[in-house]
Amino acid sequence: MFKKKKMVVAFVVMLSILILPAAQYSHASVLKKTVDAWYRDIKIVANGTQVQMPLEPFIMNDSTYVPVRAISEILGKNVAWDGATSSITITDKPGSNVAVLNNTILQQNAEINRLKAEIADLKKQLDDAESSKDDLNDLEDELNDDYSDFEDIEFDISLDGDEDDILVEITFAGDDYLDAWDALSNSDINGYLQDIVDDILDNFEDADIEGSIEDTDNDDVLVEFTVDSGGDVSTDGADLSDLEDQLNDDYSDFENIEFDINLDGDEDDILVDITFAGDDYLDEWDKLTNSDINGYLQDIVDDILDDFEDADIEGTIEDTDNGDVLVEFTVDSGGDVSID
């Protein structure tokens, strides 16, 4: 239930009382009106907090009336009464909205500066990448000038990447040069790649380098290689089974004896197992001198060391029909065969 009070209110007088002392408006023209005002314990809540008002708000003609000064101060405003013009002036308090706006401006400026720095960094990265690409193209031309012709094979050398990571793709036409390629030893290939890598590292000393050699006619990657932190090339193109086939092509027939050559191990340790059928070839074997056998083994070992120059090598020659190991041999650090 509303509690109704009859009261006489002079609006101008009411506002003046709330703003300035009576002395300031005593000479102003005043109009009196009798109004009906309703009071119902109206509460003012600002930002979740109830505010105590100096005068109780009331309702008149379906509108709620509150003191101008009180509500303005709640909103962080300055209120001034001009008695000469009977006007109320409401202005922002310094350090309220201004401080918020200044803080917003500072945050926006900081974000703008961050974005400017990010743009500058990206532009520098782009410029560096373009410069690095130009340098790679120049180096690619130099490498093709120096290394496109090797052991009667015409290679094409392509570089891709940047100053930190470089991919080297070396290609040749297998239909024209595969025989020449097959004649290369692993040592030849490794040396060729090492020369190329050394030139790259002269220009990009901190680059991580890897690459391949490919027969484009047969779509066959023949060699893949990496470079360690010391700048040394390591290839995975060396294959014991391929070398075994090559050795059998070259050395399976010696002094009218049919030998079978088997390789076991890895690039560091290689066991050479040479066998023949004693029932068929023992007479021919008995005719061989130690010098003949040593020379035969030395040729085989030399070919192995061409492909695996750091390998430790040892082996045997065995008559499989009679289960006899006829020769055991080792190879010293100089690559020379010694028969036990």
The sign of the dihedral angle between the CA atoms of 251, 254, 258, 261 is negative
Continuous segment of H or E residues that includes residue 36: strand 33-39
| pLDDT at residue 96, rounded to an integer | 56
| 19 has pLDDT over 50 | no
Continuous segment of H or E residues that includes residue 315: strand 312-319
Straight-line distance from the first to the last Cα atom of the chain, in angstroms, rounded to the nearest whole number = 124
Q: What is the pLDDT of residues 147-193, one digit of tens each?
A: 999 999 999 999 999 888 999 999 999 999 999 998 887 778 989 99
Please tell me the least confidently modeled range out of 23-37, 49-63, 91-105, 298-312.
23-37
Task: Categorize the per-residue pLDDT at 337 as very low, low, confident or very high, splitting at 50, 70 and 90.
Answer: very high
Q: Which fold has domain 125-235?
A: GMP Synthetase; Chain A, domain 3 (3.30.300)
| pLDDT at residue 327, rounded to an integer | 98
Task: Categorize the per-residue pLDDT at 23 as very low, low, confident or very high, splitting at 50, 70 and 90.
Answer: very low
Q: Where are the alpha helices (DSSP H) in 183-239?
A: 186-203
Q: What is the pLDDT of residues 202-235, one digit of tens each?
A: 999 999 999 999 999 999 899 999 999 999 998 8
Q: What is the pLDDT of residues 240-253, one digit of tens each?
A: 888 898 899 999 99
The DSSP line for 147-192 is: HSEETTEE-EEEEEE-SSEEEEEEEE-HHHHHHHHHT--HHHHHHH
Task: Categorize the per-residue pLDDT at 35 as very low, low, confident or very high, splitting at 50, 70 and 90.
Answer: confident
How far apart are the C-alpha atoms of 258 and 211, rounded to whole Å? Answer: 40
Q: Are 168 and 221 in contact (CB under 8 A)?
A: no
| 14 has pLDDT over 90 | no
Q: Give the other-Cβ count within 10 Å of 89's Cβ.
A: 11
| pLDDT at residue 134, rounded to an integer | 63
**For 272-279, what is the mean pLDDT?**
97
Q: Name residues whose C-beta falls within 8 Å of residue 246's C-beta, 6 or more positions apart in sequence.
A: 303
Count CA atoms closer than 13 A to 265's CA, side-chain side: 19
User: What SS3 class is residue 16?
Assistant: helix
Q: Are 273 and 318 in contact (CB under 8 A)?
A: yes
Question: In the chain, pLDDT over 90 holds for what percent of residues?
Answer: 51
Tokens of 35: 């109004």
| pLDDT at residue 24, rounded to an integer | 46
Is the whole-model pTM more than 0.75?
no
| 8 has pLDDT over 80 | no
The sign of the dihedral angle between the CA atoms of 335, 336, 337, 340 is negative
**For 51-80, what is the mean pLDDT?**
85
| pLDDT at residue 126, rounded to an integer | 73
Q: Where are the domains of the chain?
A: 3-92, 125-235, 240-339
| pLDDT at residue 129, rounded to an integer | 63
Burial 148-174 (b: 16+ CB within 10 A, else e): eebeebebebebebbbeebebebbbeb
Which of the listed ranges 132-141, 230-239, 266-275 does the model predict with the highest average pLDDT? Answer: 266-275
Is the CATH code 3.40.190 the one for domain 240-339? Answer: no
